[in-house]
Structure 1
Amino acid sequence: MGKNTGTEFILPVLLVTAFCSANVEIRVGIPDVSRPWDEARTYCQEKYVDLVTWDIVDSDWLVQEFGGSGDFWIGLHKEPEKDTWKWINVKTGKGLTGEDVSGNGNWGNLDLLSGDCGTFVLERKSWFRQECSRPLQFICYGDNLVLVTENKTWEDALSHCRKMSTPSQRYDLLSLTSPASAYVRDKISRATSEEVWMGLRFLGDEWWWSDGAELANKEMLPACPSRWERCGTMSKNHKENWITRDCSEKRNFICYHKSTA
């Protein structure tokens, strides 16, 4: 097994993908346990977010950081009744998504093994198929985001996030550098409201983030908003800009946390 098993790394999403704020972090870990594929995924969903996929984490980074050797479950599965392989759907937590990756150059020799679940062999930097019932270690990913599916006003949402803070972790409404955040938009897809509150607020003739950061792209928002639309949301479907809303309206919201150490 890999030499760094039972450990994890935390990195800004910006290092792994190209679409997020530095406030969003990805946590990657190899738990020091072995499970069949289905149980491994359940473990990841309970303690992290899901099994890792290459849409979330770069495989070269993974090899560099974890090193060692070993065969680990990842979020790759053969489609039932078909001879195609796809990544798991981390947006919904169920099923498969994306294009068929059966011909991807990352595969090892498919004829050497059988099985409907995918593994990653660190020392060979390749994917292999294995019988899903085989107990193996596995690679999970998590993040520092919390989607709250309760409807609250902006002020109450801010208070809710901050009350989750601990001596080691500070919570706040999420601040972003860009509204075109595919990772965060996927994260809020399970919200029960069409839009979710962000940490965006108009105060003292300026737009600010609730964590104290000044808004970088002020041209995206009205310079003199209506007194009724001075708080910002992100939509699950509208991808271009943040949306200004009445702060007294009630909707879901998304928090983030950072270490205070």
Structure 2
Amino acid sequence: MFFSVDSTETMKDNKTFHLNETSVTWTQAQNYCRQHHTDLASGLDQIYSEEFKKLQNSTALWIGLFRDSWRWSDGSNFSFRYWDMDSFNDGLNNRTCATTLLERSGRWSSAGCDQRKPFFCYDDKLILIRENKTWEEALNYCRQKHHNLVSISNPHEQRWVQERAKNASTPFVWLGLRYSCTLGFWFWVDDNLVCYERWASGGKTEDCSMSAAMTTGGQHEWVSQRDNETFNFICIKH
């Protein structure tokens, strides 16, 4: 399938929004965004930002909200509703994906997921690499192609990383945290202090050749793994 180059973009809080004016189904839009960016535009902080609203378009546009108890494509929290109830209730049972029309106050509507519409993608500073590599191979890959293996210093960053980890193809994803036998402590590869921890119970083993990985399911806790194990991993971009 042919997709045009993203026609317009704007940036907010390290997130870049991309408007693609090629009309495709919701699933095709999601697949494109995940392949070329991070995901479909998702979450209230994104779709009500001023930067997002600058990407004006006169037609309904796909956003990352779909009907599985209505949840966001990238896992963002969802409780607030902003539906255009007239269009939302019209044929609701056949409408399982969401659109927004910015020039009409930004309210949401529902549509059949097989309809073809333009769509919004976004990028953030994290990227999940769905390749299986040892910890050192993952570190080298991130440093050569992006910036570094990801570090986590607070609960907000933990939530940010675990949303990416949910799409991994391995049970764990490597983090940029390693144990130093020489120094006798854990350290982040970007030299940040370990001021926040999310170890699983019994999951922390302080031994040579051990690095930290996050579970891709469950509570997304950290566990020690041998460096020569191969997992997906998460890089942080420049």
TM-score (normalised: structure 1): 0.65
Counterpart in 2 of 1:34? 22
How many angstroms apart in 1 are the aligned matches of 2:218 and 2:16?
27
Q: Secondary structure at the match of 1:254?
A: strand
Counterpart in 2 of 1:59? 47
* Amino acid in structure 2 at the alignment position of 1:157: A
Structure 1 residues 232 and 134: alpha-carbon distance in aligned structure 2, compared to 1, 3 A threshold:
closer
Counterpart in 2 of 1:217? 196
- List per-residue Cα deviations over 1:19-48 (Å, max 9, x = no partner): xxxxxx5332213x2314345444434422
Counterpart in 2 of 1:159? 140
The question of 1:249 aligning with 2:229 is answered yes
Q: Secondary structure at the match of 1:35?
A: strand
Q: Secondary structure at the match of 1:109?
A: helix
- List per-residue Cα deviations over 1:72-126 (Å, max 9, x = no partner): 22234567xxxxx7346446xxxxx998x8x934334227966735321223121
Contact 2:214 2:220 in 1 (8 A): no
Q: Secondary structure at the match of 2:224?
A: strand
1:171-250 aligned within 5 A:
171-178=147-154, 181-203=158-180, 204-217=183-196, 226-228=206-208, 230-237=210-217, 239=219, 241-250=221-230
Contact 1:49 1:140 in 2 (8 A): yes
Contact 1:108 1:126 in 2 (8 A): no
How many angstroms apart in 1 are the aligned matches of 2:218 and 2:65?
29
* Amino acid in structure 1 at the alignment position of 2:142: C
Contact 2:46 2:52 in 1 (8 A): no
Structure 1 residues 250 and 90: alpha-carbon distance in aligned structure 2, compared to 1, 3 A threshold:
same
Moved more, 148-157 or 111-120: 111-120
Unaligned runs of 5+ in 1: 13-24, 80-84, 92-96, 165-169
Structure 1 residues 182 and 113: alpha-carbon distance in aligned structure 2, compared to 1, 3 A threshold:
same
- List per-residue Cα deviations over 1:113-150 (Å, max 9, x = no partner): 66735321223121124566765432112333333344
How many angstroms apart in 2 are the aligned matches of 1:211 and 1:63?
30
Contact 1:179 1:239 in 2 (8 A): no
How many angstroms apart in 1 are the aligned matches of 2:134 and 2:179?
15
Shift of 1:199: 0.4
How many angstroms apart in 2 are the aligned matches of 1:65 and 1:111?
21
* Amino acid in structure 2 at the alignment position of 1:29: H
C-alpha RMSD of matched pairs (Å): 4.0
How many angstroms apart in 1 are the aligned matches of 2:140 and 2:65?
39
Counterpart in 2 of 1:147? 128
Structure 1 residues 172 and 190: alpha-carbon distance in aligned structure 2, compared to 1, 3 A threshold:
same
Q: Secondary structure at the match of 2:136?
A: helix
Shift of 1:233: 1.4
Counterpart in 2 of 1:50? 39
Counterpart in 1 of 2:70? 86
Q: Secondary structure at the match of 2:48?
A: helix
